[in-house]
């Protein structure tokens, strides 16, 4: 029977590429999104993948959304925590709301979704969770104390949950993308982006499909011995 996967923020950008790649691998995919109905509808028309709207930062909404997916598609075997936002600014200019909203969605969303999906995976003795971190959670970034803290938190969350899932056949990994050509990066001012690209050893932005390929590997049966790790796909921009 086909495995069921949920991809949060799965209707555009990196998430869209992940949804499509997992479908191509034979999974039945539910793509969650936050509010952009127009993009979600276009995505479903294009790919045939069902889209489900809820806010990953809302604990109850995640419980309800995942229950709905399980009922309509099947028990959730694979969770990709991809939904993420930025609210950039230096510490001096960053409001508490900007701090809190990024923590609520980017890090809180991982907790909320794992709470909804992990128990069923444990019961069935198999599961894959991939949390999308960021190069800026690994190395920090000027004007992103909220985003860097949330993404860095994802890496700790991953390692802790991996230990809880290991004996139950559940792997939990993080994937840290470098700069990828999506709407999120399109929002970066052109001169700043030029400086960023100049620092990428391969000399270009990444493509969403290059991230999706890594996620597909981490979600495969063959990746059962990979857990608690961070896969970096960043064109050589951050090496450690
Ligand atoms: P986009 O801004 O292109 O897409 C974000 C997606 O997340 C959308 O589908 C959006 O839904 C969804 N989303 C946002 N907030 C919520 C919410 N509260 N609840 C549910 N869904 C939500 O982002 P990218 O594709 O660029 O990034 C995807 C992930 O990769 C993010 O976690 C990002 O931090 C990370 N990343 C991206 C990098 C890049 O260079 N692009 C680099 C490193 C990490 P909707 O369409 O409804 O708004």
The pLDDT, as a whole number, for residue 1 is 85
Atom of ligand 1 nearest to the CA of 14: 25
What is the rounded CA–CA span in Å between residue 77 and residue 213? Answer: 18
The pLDDT, as a whole number, for residue 187 is 87
The pLDDT, as a whole number, for residue 16 is 98
Q: 128: CA distance to ligand 1 center in Å?
A: 20
Confirm or reject: Cβ of 61 under 6 Å from ligand 1.
no
Sign of the alpha-carbon torsion through 179, 180, 184, 189: positive
Q: 85: CA distance to ligand 1 center in Å?
A: 6
Domains located in the chain, CATH noted? 4-230 (3.40.50.720)
The pLDDT, as a whole number, for residue 221 is 97
Confirm or reject: Cβ of 154 under 6 Å from ligand 1.
no
What is the C-alpha radius of gyration for the chain, rounded to an integer number of angstroms? 17
Determine if the pTM surpasses 0.75.
yes
The pLDDT, as a whole number, for residue 74 is 97
Confirm or reject: Cβ of 57 under 6 Å from ligand 1.
yes
Q: What is the mean pLDDT of each run of 10 residues along the chain (240 residues)?
A: 96 98 98 98 98 98 98 98 97 98 98 98 98 97 97 97 98 98 90 93 97 98 98 94
* Helices of type H across the chain: 13-24, 37-47, 59-72, 96-102, 108-124, 135-139, 145-165, 183-186, 190-198, 208-218
Q: Name the token pair of 29.
A: 């995919």
Q: 107: CA distance to ligand 1 center in Å?
A: 13
């Amino acid at each position: 029977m086909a495995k069921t996967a949920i991809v949060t923020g799965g209707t555009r950008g990196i998430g869209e590429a992940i949804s499509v790649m997992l479908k191509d691998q034979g999974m039945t995919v539910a793509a969650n999104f936050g509010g952009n109905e127009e993009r979600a509808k276009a995505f479903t028309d294009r790919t045939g993948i069902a889209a489900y709207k809820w806010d990953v930062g809302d604990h109850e909404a995640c419980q309800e959304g995942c229950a709905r997916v399980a009922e309509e598609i099947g028990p959730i075997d694979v969770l990709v925590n991809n939904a993420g936002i930025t609210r950039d600014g230096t510490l001096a200019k960053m409001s508490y709301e900007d701090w809190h909203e990024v923590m609520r969605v980017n890090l809180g969303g991982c907790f909320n979704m794992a709470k909804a999906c992990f128990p069923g995976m444990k019961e069935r003795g198999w599961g894959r969770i991939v949390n999308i971190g960021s190069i800026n959670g690994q190395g920090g970034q000027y004007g992103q104390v909220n985003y860097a803290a949330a993404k860095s938190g994802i890496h700790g969350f991953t390692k802790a949950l991996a230990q809880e899932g290991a004996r139950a056949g559940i792997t939990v990994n993080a994937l840290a993308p470098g700069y990828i050509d999506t709407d999120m990066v399109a929002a970066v001012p052109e001169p700043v982006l030029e400086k960023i690209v100049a620092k990428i050893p391969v000399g270009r932005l990444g493509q969403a499909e290059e991230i999706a390929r890594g996620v597909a590997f981490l979600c495969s049966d063959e990746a059962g011995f990979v857990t608690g790790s961070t896969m970096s796909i960043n064109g050589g921009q951050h090496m450690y």
